[in-house]
Structure 1
Amino acid sequence: MSYTQYFMHLGEKNRPFEDAMALTHETVKDLFKNSHMPYSGLAPEALKAQLEAIDLNNVRPLAEVIETTKQLVAKNSILVQHPHTLAHLHTPPLIVSVLAEHFIATLNQSMDSWDQAPAATYVEQIMVDWLCETYQLGERSDGVFTSGGTQSNLMGLLLARDCFAKKHSAHNIQQDGLPEYGHKMRIICSDKSHFTVQKSAALMGLGERAVVTVKTNVQGQIDCQALQMTIDALKAQDLLPIAIVATAGTTDHGAIDDLKKVIDIAKKAACWTHVDGAYGGALMLSDKHKQRLAGIELADSVSVDFHKLFYQTISCGALLIKDKENFKSLLHHADYLNREGDELPNLVDKSIATTKRFDALKMFMTLQAVGAKTLGEMYDTLLDLTTKVAKLIESSLEFELCCQPLLSTVLFRLSDQGTMSDVVFNQLHQKIRLQLLTRGDAVIAETKVDGKLFFKFTLLNPCLTIDDFAPLLEKIKSTAIQLQKEV
């Protein structure tokens, strides 16, 4: 039996691949041309049943598989390009990023050693150097591409833990495991920080209870006075604060902490500072708004997500560190891979992953085809639109705004609670959100602030205008009226 039809080949034997790619292109083209809703509206149970009905033991022609994928998967996916897809931090990807994915998938480079990815290794390091320069982290800085904020946050805090143990007692956690005082280690962050701080602490052997949260203000920014008091209280209990996490763009509020003040407090307490810039870190490209990130250049480590406001396809992130020496706690030589004395750059030396994707190509191509200046202007447009949307909501009698937006997130709720209890009023908001989704009208999110449930718009698409929001707010109003009548 010949397996030729299943693979791409050198030379001119690629007709099956060319035909399949052409068919897939037409499928996506047709989907975008004829889709008018952010989601099909198919109920979860019906979608699950249709997908489970596919017989995976029945091998069919590739053209049929592509058609099935179109009908069941593509048509029942959330379309991030739709103006009423506003729930999560999922951006419409740049065309150049989608094209880069084609190169990445076809070439299938493994980014662990130079002899597996010669050009790719250099491209990633070039992009890391560009990032370190952009964030002004200094001559000793370095970084590595990751799968996103979760991996970046884990790596940043892992390096913080190892660095603390080395300085505190010359203990090598990589070789000897957690020190006897490991149960005293504490990581401090705001109560609006991403949950991956707790997940990281668990994976690092410290446990989620090692994370101490500090209260935030109404806009979701960390209270620096409370932060100092927390550090003092921990030290008074003979506990060991090892790292402080500042957030540049919280998931709920889009809040950016006072990075300079947080890092100053951390340095005086001899704590590692990690900035989770997965959401708002992109503002470094905006001449108008990058001052919001003032102080980020002083951080020991920074998380950056490119599949958010850099408009790259999922997944694509990076961890940047101020002193490359700290990457040594991840170094392990393998005779078959990154042998001692090997002068070639092997990216596995500074990563917790071995095989990883050539995601750096996406940003490498984007900077050439779009440019950092244009990306920065997109953010200016987006933040200006966010302010307009907030004012539109604030001027409506039917809605109340939670707080003024700091990034591109708008939190709001219905203004008239009537005789409903807080619990029932919260449930009404949940029902509105779900009905909008299952009717295929809109994909919006919800979150709680001080026990109150708020709708959340996460604005990410710089192509939107204020005219896209009036009809969406009308849908929310009419849905609310309908559900209140039913109650």
Structure 2
Amino acid sequence: MMKTIHDSSLDEWFLNRTSTSQTAYKQAVGAAVNTVQTQFSSLEKPMSGVQADFLSSLLREDTICPEEGLHLDTVLYEVGQKVLGHSVAVHHPACVAHLHCPPLIPALAGEVMVSATNQSMDSWDQSPAATLLEERMIQWLSRTFGLSPQGDGVFTSGGTQSNFMGLLLARDHYAWTRFGWNVQKRGLPPEAREMRILCSEAAHFTVKQSAALLGLGEDAVVTVKTDERHRIHLDDLDQQLSQLYGDGLHPFAIVATAGTTDFGSIDPLPELVSRAHALGLWLHVDAAYGGALILSNSYKERLQGIEAAHSITVDFHKLFYQPISCGAFLVNDVKHFNRIKQNADYLNSTEDEELGIPNLVGKSIQTTRRFDALKLYISLRTLGRAQFASMIEKTINTATATAQMIAKDQRLEVINPVPELNAVVFRFIPEMNHPDMPYSKWQDQINHEIRHALLASGDVVLANTKVNGNVCLKLTLLNPRTTLEDTHAILDRVKKTGKRRELQKGEWNQHASNIGSASYHAELL
């Protein structure tokens, strides 16, 4: 056995086998856990309401790196006061703005192991067990989504990276099969200016972002109208395709969305599969939001057709309740990864590959990469499919009941009365006109102000969006702990805040009897 000599003065700073190191690690992690519990998980509001200028004064650049270090307990206390206490409490039932989930406790335990072991997922000799576990996880995901036996994938940082990889492989695949052009070696083909991607107008912004990064430009993305359910409109898709072919252009990919950001809408996947396969187009399904439905016996039929996609985006830091970041990119044929594969003698040499040594760097656009598969593995093993399904289904049921509640309220307007996932878009309806602006502009302004007033109070973290140019409010009900009673209370706060804005800026002489009545004022208290 090889003897090693180490500097014992560093044992308190680096995890190793010595008692000094292990004691220091336990104390550090214990102190961090205590800070999280006292300064974050016990927060009574979803947000402190802190303003940027005040927070900036707390976090000064000149205090970051003192000449002599402070005790860890002191540093953690400061972080608790200045950072954790002013962080968004994603676990709070009134934190309902974005696709920003509360993480599972088993996943948080996994994060401790991920950070402590610090495995790098690019080569076998940096992450042997981790490499095999990620491969098994990818195999499970491929089978769960119904991909072919040749299906494969890789863990990613999330939807942005996965969507980029889908369009990267689609571009290079089309350039080779259509023009005999190797983009990896030769750059973009002369026909690149004529290549087109189709997606709905509700698709994620990363479709255009990816097109820009891929050298095709945002104008290469052709947006298709959506139907009354905010899904890609098939008739308009057919017209757009016909127009593109008629103009001598080269459509090469369709991006379907399984869970749009605003409405959670799922594009008609079987019909898109049929069109893509008939025309020889790459079908990428962005299921970052809705992919978790695959675990639900009640709702997984909404993803019917996804098994025939060429590539799939799925995020685990949404409805799989994993800490950020955690996602995956799946393909129906492992050979597609050859389009991006590189070999480095110090990582994944050809000699190692001939010996069958698995080095995952060849499937990723990242080199150093976290072992995020571990926390998902721990979560799946601990909860099981049925518990995951139950939580997902509960959020959809809460969203459906909340939409029905809004539809019955005369002061609110629901935009998607039948939510496909767990997002509910709605508006506050002012009764009084504004003396200086049209009603439609006043309604936009008051809905915008409602959100900011609630954020400033710290009581509700609500989202704004626009539908047909109109400002709307949005509840994103990812948290299975958010109940119908919670959403009722949130809507009540929305209405009271809106009514206060009416009193402040509305026409005082309009509805004078209502304004002067005790009952009207009682509603605002």
Matches within 5 A, 1:158-177: 158-177=168-187
Q: Do residues 466 (structure 1) and 484 (structure 2) align?
A: yes
- 1:400 and 1:414 in contact (8 A); partners too: yes
Shift of 1:424: 2.5
**How much has 1:416 moved relative to structure 2?**
3.4
User: How many angstroms apart in 1 are the aligned matches of 2:194 and 2:277?
Assistant: 19
Is residue 37 of structure 1 aligned with residue 50 of structure 2? no
1:201-244 Cα shifts (integer Å, max 9, x gaps): 01111011111100102331000111111111011111100100
Offset of 1:53 from its aligned partner? 6.2
| 2:392 is the alignment partner of 1:385 | no
**In 1: Cα distance, 2:248 partner to 2:259 partner:** 32
Please give the alpha-carbon distance, in whole angstroms, between the structure 1 residues aligned to 2:393 and 2:15: 43
Matches within 5 A, 1:118-137: 118-137=128-147
Contact 2:40 2:85 in 1 (8 A): no
**Which contiguous aligned blocks of 4+ residues in structure 1 show a shift greater than 6 angstroms?**
none
- Give the fraction of aligned pairs with identical amino acids, expressed as a percent: 43
Is 1:425 the equivalent of 2:443?
yes
Match for residue 250 of structure 2? 240
Q: Once structures 1 and 2 are overlaid, which stretch shifts more, 118-127 or 12-21? A: 12-21
AA matched with 2:139: D
- Amino acid of the residue matched to residue 300 of structure 1? H
Local SS of the residue matching 1:464 = coil
Give 3-state SS (helix, strand or coil) of 1:153's partner: helix
Q: Could you report, residue by residue, the CA deviation over 1:363-419 in whole angstroms, capped at 9, with x for unpaired residues?
A: 111121011221112111111111111111111111011122111000000133543
Relative distance call for 1:350 and 1:53 in structure 2 (3 A) is: closer
Pairs within 5 Å for 1:91-130:
91-130=101-140
Which moved further from structure 2: 108-117 or 378-387? 378-387
Distance 2:65 2:388 in 1: 46
Written as runs of structure 1 = structure 2, the 5 A alignment for 1:63-74 is 63-74=73-84
Q: Distance in 2 between matches of 1:417 and 1:212?
A: 40
Counterpart pick for 1:5 among 12, 21, 30: 12
CA contact (8 A) 1:83 1:464 kept: yes
The answer (yes or no) to whether the contact 2:423–2:475 under 8 Å persists in 1 is yes
In structure 2, C-alpha distance between the alignment counterparts of 1:46 and 1:424, rounded to whole Å: 30
- Residue 428 of structure 2 corresponds to which residue in structure 1? 414
Matched letter for residue 375 of structure 1: F
Aligned partner letter, 1:19? Q
Residue number among 304, 309, 317 corresponding to 2:319 in the alignment:
309
TM-score (norm 2): 0.91
Of structures 1 and 2, the one scoring higher in RCO (CA 8 A, sep 6+) is: 1
Deviations 1:234-283 (A, max 9, x none): 11111100100000000011110101111211222211000000000110
Structure 1 distance, partners of 2:97, 2:28, is: 33
Structure 2: distance between partners of 1:33 and 1:223 = 44
Distance 1:159 1:57 in 2: 43
Asked if 2 retains the 8 angstrom alpha-carbon contact of 1:417 and 1:425, the reply is: no
Residue pairs, 1:194-233, within 5 angstroms: 194-233=204-243
Verify: 1:252 aligned to 2:262, yes or no: yes
* 1:457 to partner: Cα distance: 0.2
State the Cα distance separating 1:33 from its structure 2 match: 5.9
1:57 is paired with a residue whose SS is: coil
SS in 2 for 1:315: coil
Aligned to 1:88: 98
**Distance of aligned partners of 1:33 and 1:409 in 2 relative to their CA distance in 1, 3 Å threshold:** closer
How far apart in 2 are the matches of 1:161 and 1:254?
A: 27
Q: Hey, what's the Cα distance between the residues in 1 that align with 2:26 and 2:379?
A: 25
In 2: Cα distance, 1:419 partner to 1:33 partner = 42
What is the identity, as a one-letter code, of the residue corresponding to 1:109? Q
| CA-based RMSD | 1.3
Q: Deviations over 1:143-195 (max 9, x none)?
A: 00000000000001000001001110211100111011011110110000000
Once residues 457 and 163 of structure 2 are traced to their aligned partners in structure 1, the CA distance between those partners, rounded to angstroms, is: 36
What SS does the corresponding residue of 1:115 show, helix, strand or coil? helix
Q: Partner amino acid for 1:451? A: G
Which structure has the bigger radius of gyration? 2
Q: Residue deviations 1:352-372, cap 9 Å, x none?
A: 111000000011111210112
- Count matched residues: 487
Which 10-residue stretch deviates more, 271-280 or 362-371? 362-371
TM-score relative to the length of structure 1: 0.98
1:86 & 1:31 partners in 2: Cα distance? Answer: 21
Letter in 2 for 1:9: N
Contact 2:47 / 2:455 at 8 angstroms: preserved in 1?
yes
Using the TM superposition, give the Cα deviation of residue 464 of structure 1 relative to its aligned residue in structure 2, in angstroms: 2.1
SS at match of 1:384: helix
Match of 2:511 in 1: none
Listed as ranges, the gaps of 5+ residues in structure 2 are 1-6, 506-525
**Residues 124 and 360 of structure 1 are in contact (CA less than 8 Å); yes or no, is this contact kept in structure 2?**
yes
Match for 1:381: what amino acid? K
Other-structure match for 1:347: 360
- 5 Å matches for 1:351-362? 351-362=364-375
